[in-house]
Amino acid sequence: MSRPSLQTVGEAAFARCDRVSAELLALTYGTFVRQLLLDYEKVADVNAQLDAVGCNIGVRLVEDFLAKSKIAACNSFAHTADVIAKVAFKMFLGVTANVTSWSADRNTFSLLFDDNPLAEFTELPEQCPDLWYSNVLCGVIRGALEMLNMKVGCTFVRCKLRGHDTNEIRVSLHELLAEQPPQADD
Amino acid sequence: MSRPSLQTVGEAAFARCDRVSAELLALTYGTFVRQLLLDYEKVADVNAQLDAVGCNIGVRLVEDFLAKSKIAACNSFAHTADVIAKVAFKMFLGVTANVTSWSADRNTFSLLFDDNPLAEFTELPEQCPDLWYSNVLCGVIRGALEMLNMKVGCTFVRCKLRGHDTNEIRVSLHELLAEQPPQADD
């Protein structure tokens, strides 16, 4: 029997999720970003905070991801990239991304995606041209991969809200962490 | 041809929505609530702020609701109650509610719902027993109905996170607002 494509795996995982309206998520997320813009003086701090809370979300999501996607392990960083783009994006956001622009050492790639449910119905506030509005996604990827023993850097480099032609997140593998031995119970 | 049940209308509207994972919404919303708990000293102020931002979300959601549900107008407050419970809840949250406990004057009812996607994976922080965690929903209902010329009061009275046996929102019609005449363009 041939192995199902990652696209199919992503669709099956999405079907296994409880789902809510994307517009409700977009408006809830937008409300959160606005709150941070009130709370922090510098847009750079808002970007950092979005990344930090995203990391916490990623740490929480990864378990659900493994359970619903039924993906046991990735055998290479290239496989990891494809799983993020075709399965994780689909499962949580209902869209898929494309993996491109590998570095020569195969440690860095880009995720490109045109549809970004977080940023629907949104315009960047005029006074915040430096906001990476969807920066939470970088944190989510970073947090989830750290739970899988991959330390990565993750940065937005293009965002349609800034007038770019697509959305692009650059992901770099910094370190493969050693498996933690299971903790004794006492 | 018999008219489709509101349940069917709700399911069709839900199918017309772009959808995302409920867990992602729950974690995003939880992150927002946590931020407000950091920002405000009093839990009562957090409850009020959740209601206020919910109202803004409701004002935004109502247009999408009318477009996707294809419901033109409600002919009574009882019909409005059923549409909220069976169509709007389904379309945005993927769950339905029950309408109960009408007041004698038929101006006040309760929405009961056991499944609350906003509060999945959540526990009330110990120091916040007075938090109405999902109070944003009261604001959403209030804001949406105001756009439809109904001024309502909306309060959480039971919440499973507080140990109650179900979730209950009480909705009271305060005033039917006069239709605004269309504004002249000059």
- Say what the ipTM of the complex is: 0.91
Distance between CA atoms of residues A169 and A130, nearest Å: 16
* Model pLDDT for residues B150-159, shown as the tens digit of each residue: 999 999 999 9
Residue A115 exposure: Cα atoms within 13 Å on the Cβ side = 14
pLDDT score of B78? 95
* Coil vs helix vs strand at A112: strand
Within B70-183, where are the H helices? 77-83, 89-93, 136-147
Q: Which residues contact A10 (CB under 8 A, 6 or more apart)?
A: A69, A86, A87, A88, A89, A90, A91, A96
Residues of chain B contacting residue A35, judged by C-beta atoms under 8 Å apart: 32, 35-36, 39, 53
Q: Note whether B92 contacts A57, CB cutoff 8 Å.
A: no
- Selected for mutation to probe chain A from B11, B16, B23 (highest A CB count within 10 Å) is B23
- Output the six-digit token pair for A44: 């750079």
A185 pLDDT band (50/70/90 cuts)?
low
Q: Does domain B6-176 have CATH number 3.30.1380.20?
A: yes
Distance between CA atoms of residues A84 and B181, nearest Å: 51
Nearest-5° Cα angle at B128, B123 to B132: 75
Bridge pairing between strands B108-113 and A19-21: unpaired
Q: Which residues contact B42 (CB under 8 A, 6 or more apart)?
A: none
Bridge pairing between strands A167-176 and B98-100: unpaired
Question: Does the structure show a pLDDT above 80 at B118?
Answer: yes
- Selected for mutation to probe chain A from B17, B21, B122, B123 (highest A CB count within 10 Å) is B21
pLDDT score of B121? 83
**Closest residue to B28, CB basis, from A17, A25, A36:** A25
**Å from B118 to nearest chain A CA?**
10
**Closest residue to A20, CB basis, from B25, B35, B56:** B25
Residues of chain B contacting residue A134, judged by C-beta atoms under 8 Å apart: none
Number of CB pairs, chain A paired with chain B, less than 8 A apart: 107
Q: Which residues contact A116 (CB under 8 A, 6 or more apart)?
A: A93, A95, A134, A160, A167
Work out the number of other CB atoms within 10 angstroms of the CB of residue B44. 12
Residue B168: beta bridge partners?
Answer: B112, B158
* Model pLDDT for residues B42-51, shown as the tens digit of each residue: 999 999 999 9
Q: At what angle do helices A43-69 and A6-16 cross, to 10 degrees?
A: 90
Q: Note whether A94 contacts B25, CB cutoff 8 Å.
A: no
Long-range contacts of A82-88 (CB under 8 A, 24+ apart): A82/A6, A83/A6, A84/A111, A84/A141, A84/A171, A85/A6, A85/A111, A86/A5, A86/A6, A86/A7, A86/A9, A86/A10, A87/A6, A87/A9, A87/A10, A87/A13, A88/A10, A88/A144
Determine the residue of chain B that is closest to A140 in CA distance: B24
Of A9-23, A67-81, B1-15, give the lowest mean pLDDT range. B1-15
Q: Note whether A19 contacts B94, CB cutoff 8 Å.
A: yes
Q: Note whether A31 contacts B64, CB cutoff 8 Å.
A: no
* Model pLDDT for residues A127-153, shown as the tens digit of each residue: 899 999 999 999 999 999 999 999 999
What percent of the residues of chain B are helix, what percent strand, and what percent coil, each to the nearest 5? 50, 15, 35
- Output the six-digit token pair for A70: 């039924």
Q: Which residue has the higher pLDDT, A13 or B134?
A: B134
Of A6-15, A34-43, B82-91, give the lowest mean pLDDT range. A6-15
Nearest to B69 by CA among B180, B178, B144: B144
Q: Note whether A56 contacts B23, CB cutoff 8 Å.
A: no
Residue B84 DSSP label = I
Say if residue B18 is exposed, middle or buried (CB neighbours under 10 Å; 0-12, 13-18, 19+).
middle
Which sequence spans correspond to the domains of chain A? 6-176
Question: Does the structure show a pLDDT above 70 at A110?
Answer: yes
**Residues from A in contact with B at Cβ < 8 Å:** 14, 17-25, 27-29, 31-32, 35-36, 39, 53, 56-57, 60-61, 64, 91-94, 117, 120-121, 136
* Coil vs helix vs strand at B20: strand
Residues of chain B contacting residue A135, judged by C-beta atoms under 8 Å apart: none
- State the greatest distance between any 2 C-alpha atoms of chain B, in Å, as a whole number: 57
**Closest residue to B22, CB basis, from A20, A35, A117:** A20
Q: Which residues contact B40 (CB under 8 A, 6 or more apart)?
A: B46, B49
**Cα–chain center distance at B131:** 17
* Model pLDDT for residues B46-92, shown as the tens digit of each residue: 999 999 999 999 999 999 999 999 888 788 999 999 999 999 999 99
Q: Note whether A92 contacts B23, CB cutoff 8 Å.
A: yes
The answer to whether residues B157 and B170 touch, using CB atoms and an 8 Å cutoff, is yes
Q: Note whether B31 contacts A60, CB cutoff 8 Å.
A: no
